[in-house]
Amino acid sequence: MEHDEIVARAKDYIAEEGDPAFRAEVEALLKAEDWKELEDRFYRDLEFGTGGLRGVIGGGSNRMNSLVVSRATQGLCDYLIKAFPGKSLSACVAYDSRRYSPEFAEITARVFAANGVKAYLFSALRPTPELSFAIRLLKADTGIVVTASHNPPKYNGYKAYWNDGAQVTPPHDEGIIDMVGKVRQAKSLSREEAMKKGLLVMIDKEVDEPYVAMVESKLLRPALIKEMASKVKIVYTPLHGTGALHFERVMKDLGLSVTTVSEQREPDGAFPTVAFPNPEESAALKLALELGAKVKADVVMATDPDADRLGIAVPDAKGDFVLVTGNQLGSLQLDYILLTRRELGLMPKKPATVKTIVTTDLQARIAEKYGATCFECLTGFKWIADLMRRFESDGGASPAGEGYEYVYGTEESYGHLVENEVRDKDGISAAAVTAEMTLYWRSKGKSLLDRLQELYLEYGYYEEKSINKYFEGPKGMDVMKGIMEGYRKDQPKSLGGIKVAHIRDVKSGLEWDSGREGAAKKVDLPASDVIQWLLEDGTKVTVRPSGTEPKIKYYVLLRSEVSGGARGGEAAAAGLPAAKATSAAKAAAIAADIRKVIGE
C-alpha cells in the first residue's frame, strides 16, 4: 500500500474513532512517522470472517477497537433486518476477561439498540457456552461474545452467533460479511437511552441458574457421584478467565472437592502468570500441576479464558502428572458416554457422534463398537452444530437420512459438547462429565490413563502431532496462500518416506487416489481451504490456514498396531511402548518434510 494512502486511512480513522485512547495511538504513530507500524495497522481492514473478528487490540483498521466493533455490529444488524423483515429482533451479548471486552460488549449492545434490536447484555463476564445457551433460552435472533479464546493477551475478538445458538454458517456468514463490508457509519444509542427505551436489558441469574441446572442434568450416574464424591480431589484453574463462576458452583453442588489455583482464579486480561492462556500448552498448567502434586489430586482441570475449552492432566502410577490431549479426552468421554448409555438403557435408536476431519479416527472405532454412527465435519464447532441442526430437521437432511439423535461431539483442540442445549463447545459441562468419568473408573479400580491404555490395546495406538507456523504482517496471507497453491500445483508423492495413497482437496471439493486425478470423486463437505493426504500406512496429514490467526496449521494423525494388544497382560505391556516408538518416528519424519516447505 502506498505511503499517502496509509496516511489518508490513518487520518480518516482518527476522525471516526470514538475512543480517545485508540485515537491517541494512531496520532502518536503519525507524529513519530512510524510508517512500518502504520502500514501494519492500515494495510487492510480487519477481516470479518465466517466466525467474526479476531485481532490485536489497538487503533487502526487492522486492529480490534471500538470503531471496528461498532461497524461489524451495524453490518450484522443490516443483515438481520433484511433477513427477518418486520420481525421484532433481539440479540444476546456476552464477554470474557480480556482487555476492552466489557467496553466492546457495551458498544455492541448499544449499536443493536440503535437499530431497534433488543440487546440482552450480561452484567458481568460469562463463559462462551452460556452465550450460546442464552440465545436458545431467550429465543434471540443472534448473539455476540467478545473473546479471543486462548490467544495471547494482545488479542481480542468478536464471535457471531445465529438464532440456533451456533456460530453463523452459510449462507448467513457470507451475507453478514457482505453487509459489514458496506458499512461506513454505525448507529448508536447511549446506554441510558437504550435502557429507557427497553432496548438494552441486563441479564445474569435468569440465565445462570437454568444453565447450571442444565449442566448438572447431563450427568448420567448421580448415585455414583453421591457415593464417591468425597474420594476424588480436583485441582482447577480458569487461567484468569470466566470459568471459576460456574465450575466451582457445579462441582460444589455435586459434592466434589475442588482446589482452585489462587494465583489464576481472578479474571485478568493481562494473564500475568502465563504466556498463552491455553490449556493445550503445558506451560499454562504449570501452577495447577504443582498444586495438584502438592494436594495429591486425582485430576487437574483447566479451562481457557472464555471457558469453552477443557484440558486435563492425571497422575500416572508414579504420581507424576501426564497431560491428556484433546483427542485423548474426547475419546475417553465418548467411550464413557456410550458405555454408560448402553448400560443404563439410555442409548437412542440411532445415536450420532460428530468429530472434525482433523480429530482422531479412534473415535469412529469407539462409536462403531457401541452401534453409533460417527459423522465427520470441517474444523470448527459451528460445523458440529450444523450437523446437530440437520439431525433435528424434519426433512431428514443429515448425510445418512433421518432419525439420528446427537449424543456427543468433539474436536482435537480441547473442544467437547455433551448436551443439545448449547451449540458450541462447553468446557463447564465437559468438566462435569470428566469428573463423573473419573469417579466411575475409580469405582472399577482404574484411572483415566488405565482406561486410555485399554482403548489403545483394543483399537491400536493412536497419536497426533500438530505443527503451526505464524506468518504475520502484510505479506503473511500471501505466503500462506502461496504454500497452499504450491501443494495444489505439485501434490507430494510421499511424506516422511511414506507414499501418499489418497488426496482430498476440500477447496476444490474433490478427492482421488494418488496419480489418478482423472478419477476424482466429489467431497461431501462445504468448500474450505483444506488439503488432506492419506498415506499408504493409514496416516492422515492435513494442512489448512487458520481461520482466526495468521498461521498455517498441520495435523498428523497416526495409528500403530499394538503387538499382543488383544491378549493383554505382559504381551500388551511390551507391545504398547513399541507402537508408541513407531508412531513417534513416523511423526518426526513427516514433520521434517513439512518444515522444509514452511521454512523452519
Looking at the annotation, which residues are catalytic?
Answer: 149
The three-state secondary structure class of 168 is: coil
Of the CA atoms within 13 Å of residue 324, those in its CB half-sphere come to: 28
Q: What's CA 355's distance to the chain center, in Å? A: 12
State the alpha helices, DSSP H only, in 465-568. Answer: 476-489
Q: What is the DSSP string of 397-443?
A: -STT-S--EEEEEEETTTEEE--SS-SS--HHHHHHHHHHHHHHHHH
Look at the alpha carbons of 298, 304, 307, 310 in this order and tell me if their dihedral is positive or negative: negative
Q: What is the rounded distance in angstroms from the CA atom of residue 186 to the CA atom of residue 179?
A: 12
Quickly tell me which residue has 443439545 as its cell. 420
Q: What is the DSSP string of 104-162?
A: HHHHHHHHHHHTT-EEEEESS---HHHHHHHHHHTT-SEEEEE--TTS-TTEEEEEEE-
Q: Which residues pair with 236 in a beta bridge?
A: 260, 301
Return all residues near 501 (Cβ < 8 A) that are at least 6 apart: 513, 514, 534, 535, 536
Question: Closest Cα to residue 215, out of 431, 50, 476, 364?
Answer: 431
Quickly tell me which residue has 460445523 as its cell. 383
Grid cell in block for residue 207: 440465565
- Helix axis angle for 326-344 and 427-443, nearest 10°, is 70
- In this structure, are residues 128 and 308 in contact, taking their beta carbons and an 8 Å threshold? yes
Q: What is the rounded distance in angstroms from the CA atom of residue 356 to the CA atom of residue 591?
A: 21
* Separation in Å, CA 213 to CA 36, 133, 216, 502: 52, 12, 5, 47
Q: What is the rounded distance in angstroms from the CA atom of residue 365 to the CA atom of residue 213?
A: 32
Q: Which residues pair with 552 in a beta bridge?
A: 469, 545
Q: What is the rounded distance in angstroms from the CA atom of residue 77 to the CA atom of residue 114?
A: 10
Q: Which amino acid is at 484?
A: M
Q: What is the rounded distance in angstroms from the CA atom of residue 531 to the CA atom of residue 487?
A: 8
Question: Closest Cα to residue 99, out of 274, 268, 269?
Answer: 269
Grid cell in block for residue 202: 441486563
Q: Cα 520–554–178 angle (5° rounding)?
A: 75
475 class by beta-carbon count within 10 Å (0-12 exposed, 13-18 middle, 19+ buried): exposed
Grid cell in block for residue 379: 474444523
Question: Closest Cα to residue 405, out of 422, 425, 391, 419?
Answer: 391
Q: What is the rounded distance in angstroms from the CA atom of residue 560 to the CA atom of residue 582?
A: 7
| Edge-to-edge strand list for the sheet holding 351-356 | 373-377, 351-356, 405-411, 415-417
* Separation in Å, CA 133 to CA 73, 154, 183, 240, 587: 20, 28, 29, 22, 39
